[in-house]
Structure 1
Amino acid sequence: MTHPLRIGFIPLVDAAALIVAVDKGFAKDEGLAVELVREVSWSNVRDKLNIGLFEAAHLLAPVAIASSLGLGHVRVPIVAPFNLGINGNAITVSPALHAAIMSELDGDANNPDFANPMATAQALNRVVVARARAGADPLTFGMTFPFSTHNYQLRFWMAAGGVDPDEDVRLVVLPPPYMVDSLANGHVDAFCVGAPWNSVAVDLGIGHILHFASDILQRAAEKVLGIRQVWAEKNPEIVVALTRAHVKAAAFIEAPENRGEVTAILARPERIGVSPEVLQRTLDGKLKISPDGTWRESNRYLLVGREDAGRPDPRQAAWLYAQMVRWGQTAISPEALAIAESVFRPDLYDAAIGKSGGGDDHAGDPVGAFAGPAFDPAKIETHLAAFEIAYPKS
């Protein structure tokens, strides 16, 4: 028997496992007939998933948590049996802002401080102060959604350097495909978004990639395969089959010999719709970061399947919940933390791959932020108390 499914996605490289699972036939092999629906905005994806127009979705990890807590919208519990991507974002700035930050770092691209997020955050703070003294408008940064890792990564970076993201700059929500045009038109001075849109801005000569998000957080759950909890409980075999198809697709993507075929699939207009060469850079972690041809390589830029990236880690959910608390999106409570952690379902992932026994395979700090204390989900209040800039203010 074949099970028909409609799944929504945004044209981003971290939808690769979903797209490849369908277009390479891994889902079909599991008895699933999946129709992929390309969307523009995260609110569209969330709303269509919540009301049942989609059985599953390529979803921002924090949206899955916010939906389960009823934050910013109606409460619809979501489960995530598979991580579609770990990391994958970058902060891209306009040539003017890049020059201003460079000037604060003595204008030397070889200065080791230029790759140090604390140094650039402090340089940004000096730029912000100088603009305020001159009576200039606040800088505007684009991010994809209030409940997004992009939002929290921008805020974490800025605040570490003394910039209050709610008082010193403007943060605006833009759909990922619109980021580049907004930078080109001067509507924003910078943005944080997932691949491939940072690379597109660099190739057009209108942006410089200032930081990979993995500079800010070594390991951050970015997108998940989101499924309504009620539907998942009624269709456990389909959930396992869909998860297994994604595990197979992720392994296929991570094999270097398959990259040519993978990028050709992703480049199709109805999928991501950018050149295979740009997609290849993303998957290889070798990105041009400046219009002058400067390149940077990182094996942590985007993890699709390697390093156990597909297996959901509830501690990652706890960190995302802690950011919601830090930035005043919700109040802290043990009950809410438990709900947040329950969204990430390693048990469903383990069932799909035939693993028994469960357990936590990760040790130490699950996030690895560049500033502040190590994160412990059991001590969120103590953790947040270490940060000077947070909401509500004391």
Structure 2
Amino acid sequence: MSEKTIAISRRRLLQAGAALGGAYLLPGIMNAVWAAGSDGPEQSQVKVGFIPLTDCASVVMASVKGFDKKYGITIVPSKEASWAAVRDKMVSGELDAAHVLYGLVYGLEMGIAGKQQSMANLMTLNNNGQAISLSMDLAKQGVTEASGLKKLIAGKAPGTFTFAHTFPTGTHAMWLYYWLANAGIHPFNDVRTVVVPPPQMVMNMRIGNMVGFCVGEPWNQRAINDGIGYTAATSQSIWPDHPEKILGTRSAWVEQNPNTARALVAAILETSRWIDANDDNRRETASVLAGRAYLNTKADYLTGRMLGQYDNGLGKKWQDEHAMHFFRDGEVTFPWLSDGMWFLTQHRRWGLLDHDPDYLAIARRINRIDVYQQAASAVGNVAVPANHMRSSRLMDGSTWNGSNPAAYAASFAIKR
């Protein structure tokens, strides 16, 4: 690499960091905790759970493409039936780590998603790429967006309409609640909400168990292809470039296997960069994920939205600039403290927490930036931000930057 190329790359990384509210440290500048080859992984195999969703891509492809072997481990992907199963197996130690909902890990730490367990978030696996689907029955009644839904619900008894998400403290619940509340619909008082595993969403809408759901892909696209639903909103329309799934594990596992944790993050981090490198890699990823061992569906159901090509099922088509991303020069994968804190504010908003916790201290405890930095150094050419908070603007015009979480949690007109 020429000196000119290095200089351009360095400048671009610093510009990216400035845009996010803080400078970036280049791996060569970091005080690396680990030197390659000096200490091997404690485990040769790492069992990583996943739910059949498009955003499990980096876990699966790390194994399929052999990125794991480069760092001295073998990732064994384990297909799970529900987020509750992921939770139970992760806590029991049957799984070493998992592709998991951000809010599930935080909920376990707080004792509101099951028995309290000290947890760790090793990295973010993706941004964006979820959606809220409504049934075609609603479309026939003239409901094409949230405002129309509000008018329809206003004329019915509370709880007449049922909506589904995937886990009480998870991301899909928070996107659904936020979207409904932004339209003036109280997600607990005006409608009924239920928990349904992702692979069962389409079937349950088909038989009329709910009129809407929030879930990851490919199940929103599947609802369109099956002619039973349409995309009313993408999760990125609620929060552009929002955090979604993370690489979660027990804190004890990280303490017992620090070198394995570093190797696991490094392998998935390098895979994430590979997926985002070009559209051909995304197409290959979609083809692999469609296989029986993973999502067991048609590759066409995955490829379009992986490439940012959206069709809402009612005739609207667009190229989404905030489609699912896995790396984006390290901006996606870094475990931002403010991201974790946001989920705590929503847990507080909806009464899942009965008091304001020490938001920042909890995020610092769970989000293992130390492990991530070591892995980024091992991979090389991964930008690591000096500022561990980022600023985001959500659909209601509110700005979230982690500066005053208690006030933010209390600021919403609709809450519980």
- When normalised by structure 1's length, the TM-score is 0.88
Gaps of 5+ in 1: 103-113, 115-119
Structure 1 position 372, deviation (Å): 5.0
Q: 1:49 and 2:94 equivalent?
A: no
- Cα deviation, 1:282-328, whole Å, max 9, x if unaligned, reads 210112321x6543320212121125211111101011000000000
Partners of 2:200 and 2:51 lie apart in 1 by 12
Change (3 A) 1:358 1:263: closer
Pick aligned residue for 2:230 from 208, 214, 231: 208
Pick aligned residue for 2:374 from 340, 347, 351: 351
Change (3 A) 1:387 1:244: same
- Cα deviation, 1:59-118, whole Å, max 9, x if unaligned, reads 10001111112213111111112111112110110012123354xxxxxxxxxxx6xxxx
SS at match of 2:104: helix
- Cα deviation, 1:3-43, whole Å, max 9, x if unaligned, reads 11211110001100000001111112211122211011000
Q: Which residue of 1 aligns with 2:118?
A: 77
Gaps of 5+ in 2: 1-39
Q: 1:244 and 2:266 equivalent?
A: yes
Structure 1 position 362, deviation (Å): 5.9
Aligned ranges for residues 248-287 of structure 1 at < 5 Å? Answer: 248-254=270-276, 255-287=278-310
Q: Which residue of 1 aligns with 2:350?
A: 327
Structure 1 position 377, deviation (Å): 2.1
Deviant stretches of 4+, over 4 Å = 355-358
Partners of 1:259 and 1:382 lie apart in 2 by 40
Count of paired positions:
369
Pick aligned residue for 2:130 from 86, 89, 92: 89
Change (3 A) 1:168 1:246: same
Aligned ranges for residues 167-182 of structure 1 at < 5 Å? Answer: 167-182=189-204
Pick aligned residue for 1:360 from 387, 391, 398: 387
SS at match of 1:269: coil
Partners of 1:208 and 1:375 lie apart in 2 by 29
With 2-11 and 224-233 compared, the bigger mean Cα shift is at 2-11
Change (3 A) 1:359 1:373: same
| C-alpha contact (below 8 Å) 1:80/1:224 kept by paired residues | yes
Q: Which residue of 2 aligns with 1:107?
A: none
Pick aligned residue for 2:106 from 65, 85, 92: 65
With 45-54 and 232-241 compared, the bigger mean Cα shift is at 232-241
Structure 1 position 222, deviation (Å): 1.1
SS at match of 1:264: helix
Q: 1:386 and 2:408 equivalent?
A: no
Structure 1 position 333, deviation (Å): 3.2
SS at match of 1:27: helix
Pick aligned residue for 1:131 from 145, 156, 163: 156
Change (3 A) 1:210 1:26: same
Change (3 A) 1:317 1:341: farther
Pick aligned residue for 2:241 from 187, 204, 219: 219
Q: 1:18 and 2:41 equivalent?
A: no
Change (3 A) 1:251 1:126: same
Q: Which residue of 2 aligns with 1:143?
A: 165
| C-alpha contact (below 8 Å) 1:213/1:301 kept by paired residues | no
Q: 1:311 and 2:334 equivalent?
A: yes
Q: Which residue of 2 aligns with 1:342?
A: 365
Partners of 1:372 and 1:259 lie apart in 2 by 32
Partners of 1:144 and 1:258 lie apart in 2 by 29
Structure 1 position 157, deviation (Å): 1.2
Change (3 A) 1:235 1:99: same
- Cα deviation, 1:115-163, whole Å, max 9, x if unaligned, reads xxxxx3333221101223xxx9611111001011111111111112211
Partners of 1:11 and 1:23 lie apart in 2 by 16
Partners of 2:114 and 2:185 lie apart in 1 by 29
Change (3 A) 1:337 1:358: closer
| C-alpha contact (below 8 Å) 1:315/1:341 kept by paired residues | no
**Which letter maps to 1:35?**
V
- Cα deviation, 1:184-231, whole Å, max 9, x if unaligned, reads 111110100000000011001111111111111113211100121111
- When normalised by structure 2's length, the TM-score is 0.84
Partners of 1:162 and 1:94 lie apart in 2 by 20
Q: 1:370 and 2:395 equivalent?
A: yes
| C-alpha contact (below 8 Å) 1:350/1:358 kept by paired residues | no
Q: 1:233 and 2:255 equivalent?
A: yes
Percent of paired sites with the same residue: 30
| C-alpha contact (below 8 Å) 2:337/2:388 kept by paired residues | no
